[in-house]
Structure 1
Amino acid sequence: MIREIYLDNAATTRPLEELKEIYTAYAADAWQNPSALYACATRVQKQIDDAKGTLLRVFGGQGHKCFFTSCGSESANTVILRGAKQKKNMHYVCGGAEHPCVEESFKFLQNAGYGVTFVPTNKNGVVSPEAVANAVTEDTALVSIMHVNNETGAKNDIERIAALVKAKNPHAMFHSDGVQAFCKERLQNTSNIDYYTVSAHKLHAHKGTGAVFYKDHTPLKPYILGGGQENGLRSGTQNTLGILSFAAAAEYFETMVDPGHVHILKEIFLNECSNIPDVEVLSPENEADACAHIVNISVLGVNGETLLHTLEAAGVYISTGSACSSKKGKSRIAAALGLSQEEAAGAVRISFSPFNTEEEVRFAAREIEKNAAVLRKFMRK
């Protein structure tokens, strides 16, 4: 039987074993509709409110509130399309290598006639804080810069960026897509971050739950209309099981996960890959600009998708980029980062979890080396 080594944790994660207890409790005594008025339902609503408190504490919220959605994409869409004060000559600023849920939202606004400035990143996906500030005008309503890039693992200094945005235009709102960063990259000062969007299934919780952290009194209107749940900001019966699992996973990361372990996995992997000929690291080299759990490399002279499938045959699962865009057939990020055709063709993403082992990472690197050598014999003819 082939061993399975899952190294695509930026796409999704295996749910925690501990969540089985959450399901048992939910199925027994927390399945009622939290909008109902009888006592057992109000107890469920209390659990949802407590979950919000847990997530806001882990985020480090300073005057923030929270409402739940179905996923990170819905969260980002809500903020971008419904989270800025409507006025004439509205202008927006967006990072140049954002997740499709952010980029496509701004393109929608651009097609509707609004001004949108896309700020280019460097080759690794890092956005210059000064470049963002320079793009802000007196008409800028919203700025959106992702915390951690889902393709390269580039880490943006969103605290500094948000502060510079506010200094340039105090009325501009600042949003960050925190899906890949939440619970993995800690923030010290969230006071200038108006909106921060997150997703449960990147944290070993279940798919189907996202959240928006937002500052009180910031402009925000509901994206989904209906019964007025979540204080009128997101209608639809709440996914109680998903919400309670999300909070439990966040607490697990806060109390049980050693962040140093994933750093060690990354160091081991990169060290092993340094012995492979013609491998270029596309993730930032500077530790301050890179997260620990996502590494992007280009195996030059090899097609990344072909390498993915040869590794799959050996029981090693990686990706060529965002799972959300895998069916589209071309990489937006390769173009945004200015990669050469050969770099883009050979790019693969490896993403770790706290449950991966050093042995698994070493095995994966050896398989990349072995399979790259074989594939190059055919692909470079």
Structure 2
Amino acid sequence: MIYFDNSATTKPYDEVIDAFAKVSKEYYANPSSLHNFGGKVETLVNQARKQISNLLHVKENEIYFTSGGTEGNNLAIKGTALAYRSRGNHIITTRVEHPSVYEACEQLSKLGFEITYLPVDEYGQVDINDLSSSIRDNTILVSIMHVNNEMGAVQPIEEIGELLTNYPKILFHVDHVQGIGKIPLLLHQAKVDLCSISAHKFHGLKGIGVLYIRDGIRISPLFSGGNQENKVRSGTENVSGIVTMAKALRLTEEKRKQKRTDMLAIRDYLILNLKKMPSIKVNTNPTTSAPHIINFSAIGLKGEVIVHALEAENIYVSTTSACSSKQKSISRTLQAMGVTDEEAIGAVRISLSYDNTMDEAKIFITKLERILTKLYEVVGDTK
């Protein structure tokens, strides 16, 4: 099997599975319990929090555990909106955000908040001048993803953070779900106030993530309950998920340092050979994108048809974001980039991990060429 759908989810490391089984079997007490058994489990949670904070180069008290990227994004955006509504009701984001950001903003717009959606260029990047001109006296939050989940476009987070230092009343949230483990982001240095990550994007388990909240920032909780996570996120902690997330992040950071060059070589090989196919348009710009995502369009075909044809060859890719791929609607991200409807309908996403190999990439290109030849014969197109 060739698995090129790592932006949807990654395969958990064997070490993660083993640790999950051990913690689940031996440390199953509630960390909030008063007895010694609960205290031992709480120690595990605190050790994981410290390890993650060290890996992210932030303080321990700035790490809050969530159920993943969707909850982290919703908590950051809605929690900020509720906490700072007296300060203003204007939020700035982009047209190419993940649904968990975009839909959260849409929901807030129905509650009286004003949302500005910044445009992007043909490569999916925002213009910092557009952001600057969109800031108002009542702006309370800017939410911009680090790496786009469909295109791989990298946004100028450091420049944005520097710009926002001129506006101390505006909080800066970054969806770092696709960037974590691929492109380093020093949160303090980039002047980020809130940042979301999700373990299953870096070979951890589904259902666990982190929301970084800069020390001194206070947001309103979305869940009422037992006041866990310093009253920001109530709910009994997912101890096995937390412990294994720390392990997965450590292992991924080690692989990033060792294998990032290999990943770039695989990506560049794929893009080079995709561009040689006359029926293919590569939508991802390698000079402004992350090393693991490639988006291309097969003109005159449907992306989902290519996905299933590759699946028959035991090769797994996707069309758009896994969170919206089954809706079969044209990608909002591609539309924002000015991609035509025909090109957007034929869009396919390849997403790599550090475990993928050049041999897999070569097999993929060979299989794709054969599949495209057959499909174009069927539709009567010999492009």
Q: What TM-score comes out, normalization by structure 1 length?
A: 0.94
Partner of 2:364: 364
Indicate the SS of the match to 2:354.
coil
The CA distance in 2 between the partners of 1:24 and 1:301, in whole Å, is 48
Compute the RMSD of aligned alpha carbons.
1.6
The CA distance in 1 between the partners of 2:306 and 2:17, in whole Å, is 35
Indicate the SS of the match to 1:319.
coil
Partner of 2:139: 140
- Measure how far apart 1:19 and its partner are: 1.4
Partner of 1:309: 308
Structure 1 residues 64, 120: closer, same or farther in 2, change over 3 A? farther
Can you list the C-alpha shifts for 1:35-60, whole angstroms capped at 9, x where unaligned? 11112211211211221222222223
Asked if residue 162 in structure 1 is aligned to residue 158 in structure 2, the reply is no
Partner of 1:61: 58
Partner of 2:129: 130
Partner of 2:338: 338
Contact 2:124–2:151 (Cα < 8 Å) also in 1:
yes
Partner of 2:111: 112
Q: Which amino acid aligns with 1:146?
A: M
Q: Which amino acid aligns with 2:92?
A: V
The CA distance in 1 between the partners of 2:208 and 2:41, in whole Å, is 16
Aligned residue runs from structure 1 range 64-83, under 5 A: 65-83=62-80
Q: Which amino acid aligns with 1:170?
A: P
Structure 1 residues 89, 222: closer, same or farther in 2, change over 3 A? closer
Contact 1:63–1:215 (Cα < 8 Å) also in 2:
no
Partner of 1:280: 281
The CA distance in 2 between the partners of 1:189 and 1:104, in whole Å, is 25
Q: Which amino acid aligns with 1:56?
A: S
Contact 2:284–2:296 (Cα < 8 Å) also in 1:
yes
Contact 1:89–1:115 (Cα < 8 Å) also in 2:
no
Deviates more, 1:311-320 or 1:358-367: 358-367
Structure 1 residues 369, 294: closer, same or farther in 2, change over 3 A? same
Deviant stretches of 4+, over 4 Å: none
Deviates more, 1:38-47 or 1:62-71: 62-71
Asked if residue 26 in structure 1 is aligned to residue 27 in structure 2, the reply is no
Contact 2:80–2:220 (Cα < 8 Å) also in 1:
yes
Can you list the C-alpha shifts for 1:312-337, whole angstroms capped at 9, x where unaligned? 10111000011100122202223222
- Measure how far apart 1:298 and its partner are: 0.9
Contact 1:142–1:173 (Cα < 8 Å) also in 2:
yes
Contact 1:159–1:190 (Cα < 8 Å) also in 2:
no
The CA distance in 1 between the partners of 2:45 and 2:304, in whole Å, is 42
Indicate the SS of the match to 1:18.
helix
Partner of 2:319: 320
Contact 1:132–1:165 (Cα < 8 Å) also in 2:
no
Q: Which amino acid aligns with 2:114?
A: G
The CA distance in 2 between the partners of 1:140 and 1:62, in whole Å, is 27
Can you list the C-alpha shifts for 1:317-370, whole angstroms capped at 9, x where unaligned? 000011100122202223222210221011100000111111111111221211
Partner of 1:355: 355
The CA distance in 2 between the partners of 1:13 and 1:54, in whole Å, is 21
- Measure how far apart 1:269 and its partner are: 1.1
Contact 2:49–2:60 (Cα < 8 Å) also in 1:
no
- Measure how far apart 1:66 and its partner are: 0.9
Q: Which amino acid aligns with 1:26?
A: V
Contact 2:56–2:187 (Cα < 8 Å) also in 1:
no
Q: Which amino acid aligns with 1:48?
A: V
Deviates more, 1:121-130 or 1:241-250: 121-130
Structure 1 residues 172, 88: closer, same or farther in 2, change over 3 A? closer
Contact 2:297–2:348 (Cα < 8 Å) also in 1:
yes
Task: Please point out which of 165, 171, 186 is paired with 2:169.
Answer: 171
Deviates more, 1:236-245 or 1:274-283: 274-283
Can you list the C-alpha shifts for 1:181-215, whole angstroms capped at 9, x where unaligned? 11211124534100000100001111010110010
The CA distance in 2 between the partners of 1:79 and 1:161, in whole Å, is 18
- The percent identity for this pair of structures is 34
Q: Which amino acid aligns with 2:145?
A: M
Q: Which amino acid aligns with 2:347?
A: A
**Structure 1 unmatched ranges of 5 or more:** none
Contact 1:123–1:338 (Cα < 8 Å) also in 2:
yes
Q: What TM-score comes out, normalization by structure 2 length?
A: 0.94
- Measure how far apart 1:260 and its partner are: 1.6
Deviates more, 1:210-219 or 1:349-358: 210-219
Partner of 1:35: 32
- Measure how far apart 1:86 and its partner are: 1.8
Contact 2:56–2:186 (Cα < 8 Å) also in 1:
no
Partner of 2:89: 90
Indicate the SS of the match to 1:266.
helix
The CA distance in 2 between the partners of 1:379 and 1:57, in whole Å, is 55
The CA distance in 1 between the partners of 2:89 and 2:61, in whole Å, is 25
